[in-house]
Chain A
Amino acid sequence: MSTKDMIRPYGDTSGDGKMQLSFSLPVPADAWGKEAARLLLKSMGFDEIDVCGVRYLGEGFTHFIAYAATAAFVDPASIKVKVVETPVMDMDATDAYITENIGRKLTVVGACIESDAHTVGIDAIMNMKGYNHRFGLERYQMFNAINMGAQVPSEELLRRAREENADAVLVSQVVTQKNIHIDNLTKLIELAEAEQLRDKILFICGGPRISHELAIELGYDAGFGTGSYSTDVGSFIAISIAEKQIKK
Chain B
Amino acid sequence: MLKLDIDLKMKERARDAAANIAGSFDWLFGGYSSLAIERTVLRLLGVDGALEDGKPLPNVVVDHLQTIGGMGKGAAIPVANAMLAKKMDVMEVAQAVGRGELDLGKIPPQDPQAVFDVLNTLADKMLSHIRAQRDTRKAMFAKYGPRRVPAIYVIVATGNIYEDAVQAKAAASEGADVIAVIRSTAQSLLDYVPFGATTVGFGGTYATQENFRIMRAALDEASEQQQRYISLTNYASGLCMPEIAAMGAIERLDLMLNDAMYGILFRDINPKRTLLDQYFSRMINAFAGIEIQTGEDNYLTTSDAIEKAYTVTASQLLNEQFALLSGVKPEKMGLGHAFEIDPEIENSFSYELAHALLTRELFPDAPVKYMPPTKYASGNIFKTHLMGAMFNFIGQLTGQGVQLLGMMTEAIHTPHLVDRSLAIENAQYIFKAVKNLGDNLSLVPDSFVNQRANLVLTQAVEFLEKVASEGLFPAMARGDFADIKRPENGGKGMDGVFRREEGYFNPFLDKMKKELGL
> Majority SS of interface residues in chain A?
loop
Chain B positions within 8 Å of A120 at CB level? 301-302, 375
A24-B418, A178-B202 are known contacts. Are A208 and B169 too (CB-CB below 8 A)? no
Write out, one digit per residue, whether chain A residues 197-208 have a CB within 8 A of any chain B CB (1) or not (0). Answer: 000000000001
A151 within 8 A of B: yes
Chain A positions within 8 Å of B378 at CB level? 226
B348 within 8 A of A: no
A58-B170, A178-B159 are known contacts. Are A63 and B418 too (CB-CB below 8 A)? yes
> A57–B411 contact, CB under 8 A?
no
Chain A positions within 8 Å of B412 at CB level? 208
Residue of A nearest to B173 (CB): A58
B198 within 8 A of A: no
- Roughly how many angstroms separate A119 CA and B266 CA in the complex, as a whole number? 9
Residue of A nearest to B175 (CB): A58
- Roughly how many angstroms separate A57 CA and B185 CA in the complex, as a whole number? 27
> B304–A129 contact, CB under 8 A?
yes
Chain B positions within 8 Å of A208 at CB level? 379, 411-412
Residue of B189, B202, B267, B418 near A22 (CB, 8 A) is B418
Residue of A nearest to B412 (CB): A208
Residue of B nearest to A179 (CB): B202
- Roughly how many angstroms separate A131 CA and B174 CA in the complex, as a whole number? 37
Residue of A nearest to B201 (CB): A177
Residue of B nearest to A225 (CB): B379
B268 within 8 A of A: yes
B433 within 8 A of A: no
Chain A positions within 8 Å of B186 at CB level? 115, 117, 151
Residue of A115, A150, A176 near B413 (CB, 8 A) is A176
* Interface bracket on B: 35 or more
- Roughly how many angstroms separate A176 CA and B202 CA in the complex, as a whole number? 8
> A23–B173 contact, CB under 8 A?
no
Distance in angstroms from A62 CB to nearest chain B CB is: 10
> A175–B185 contact, CB under 8 A?
yes
Distance in angstroms from B397 CB to nearest chain A CB is: 27
B386 within 8 A of A: no
- Roughly how many angstroms separate A155 CA and B52 CA in the complex, as a whole number? 28
- Roughly how many angstroms separate A106 CA and B159 CA in the complex, as a whole number? 40
- Roughly how many angstroms separate A241 CA and B170 CA in the complex, as a whole number? 53
> A57–B417 contact, CB under 8 A?
yes
> A149–B268 contact, CB under 8 A?
yes
Chain B positions within 8 Å of A116 at CB level? 185
> A58–B169 contact, CB under 8 A?
yes
A97 within 8 A of B: no
> B188–A117 contact, CB under 8 A?
yes
A120-B375, A180-B202 are known contacts. Are A59 and B170 too (CB-CB below 8 A)? yes
> B169–A177 contact, CB under 8 A?
no
A24-B418, A116-B185 are known contacts. Are A177 and B301 too (CB-CB below 8 A)? no
Residue of A58, A119, A149 near B171 (CB, 8 A) is A58
Write out, one digit per residue, whether chain B residues 268-310 have a CB within 8 A of any chain A CB (1) or not (0). Answer: 1000000000000000000000000000000001111000000
- Roughly how many angstroms separate A208 CA and B379 CA in the complex, as a whole number? 9
Distance in angstroms from A33 CB to nearest chain B CB is: 14
Chain A positions within 8 Å of B167 at CB level? 59
Distance in angstroms from A7 CB to nearest chain B CB is: 20
Residue of B nearest to A226 (CB): B379
A167 within 8 A of B: no
Residue of B171, B174, B202, B411 near A115 (CB, 8 A) is B202
Chain A positions within 8 Å of B203 at CB level? 175, 177
Residue of A57, A150, A175 near B421 (CB, 8 A) is A57
Residue of B nearest to A183 (CB): B202
A57-B174, A175-B202, A176-B413 are known contacts. Are A117 and B267 too (CB-CB below 8 A)? yes
Q: Which of A68-124 contact B (CB under 8 A)?
A: 115-120, 123
Chain A positions within 8 Å of B302 at CB level? 119-120, 123
Write out, one digit per residue, whether chain B residues 301-325 have a CB within 8 A of any chain A CB (1) or not (0). Answer: 1111000000000000000000000
Chain A positions within 8 Å of B451 at CB level? none
Q: Which of B149-175 contact A (CB under 8 A)?
A: 159, 166-167, 169-174
A140 within 8 A of B: no
Distance in angstroms from A150 CB to nearest chain B CB is: 8
> A24–B417 contact, CB under 8 A?
yes
Write out, one digit per residue, whether chain B residues 163-197 have a CB within 8 A of any chain A CB (1) or not (0). Answer: 00011011111100000000011101100000000
- Roughly how many angstroms separate A150 CA and B170 CA in the complex, as a whole number? 34
- Roughly how many angstroms separate A177 CA and B173 CA in the complex, as a whole number? 26
Chain A positions within 8 Å of B375 at CB level? 120
Distance in angstroms from B202 CB to nearest chain A CB is: 5
A61 within 8 A of B: yes
Distance in angstroms from B348 CB to nearest chain A CB is: 14
A42 within 8 A of B: no
A55 within 8 A of B: yes
Chain B positions within 8 Å of A115 at CB level? 184-186, 202
Chain B positions within 8 Å of A149 at CB level? 268
B138 within 8 A of A: no
B458 within 8 A of A: no
Distance in angstroms from B491 CB to nearest chain A CB is: 11
Residue of A nearest to B186 (CB): A115
Write out, one digit per residue, whether chain B residues 401-425 have a CB within 8 A of any chain A CB (1) or not (0). Answer: 0000000000111101110011001
Residue of B nearest to A63 (CB): B418
> A177–B414 contact, CB under 8 A?
yes
Chain B positions within 8 Å of A151 at CB level? 186, 189
Chain A positions within 8 Å of B185 at CB level? 115-118, 175
- Roughly how many angstroms separate A175 CA and B3 CA in the complex, as a whole number? 41
Distance in angstroms from A66 CB to nearest chain B CB is: 13
- Roughly how many angstroms separate A31 CA and B422 CA in the complex, as a whole number? 22
Residue of B159, B172, B268 near A177 (CB, 8 A) is B159
- Roughly how many angstroms separate A135 CA and B301 CA in the complex, as a whole number? 16
Residue of A nearest to B411 (CB): A208
- Roughly how many angstroms separate A226 CA and B483 CA in the complex, as a whole number? 25
Query: Could you list 9 A-B pairs, sorted by A, with CB under 8 Å?
Result: A59-B166, A59-B170, A115-B184, A117-B186, A127-B483, A129-B303, A129-B483, A177-B159, A177-B414
In the complex, besides A57-B421, A63-B417, A177-B159, 19 extra interface pairs with C-beta distance below 8 angstroms are: A22-B418, A24-B416, A55-B425, A58-B171, A58-B174, A61-B417, A63-B418, A63-B421, A63-B422, A115-B184, A115-B185, A116-B185, A117-B267, A119-B302, A127-B483, A129-B303, A149-B268, A175-B203, A208-B411
Q: Which residues of A are interface residues toward B (Cβ below 8 A)? A: 22-24, 55, 57-59, 61, 63, 115-120, 123, 127-129, 149-151, 175-178, 180, 208, 226
Shortest Cβ-Cβ A-B pairs, 6 listed: A58-B173, A58-B170, A59-B170, A115-B186, A175-B203, A63-B418
Q: Which residues of B are interface residues toward A (Cβ below 8 A)? A: 159, 166-167, 169-174, 184-186, 188-189, 202-203, 267-268, 301-304, 375, 378-379, 411-414, 416-418, 421-422, 425, 483
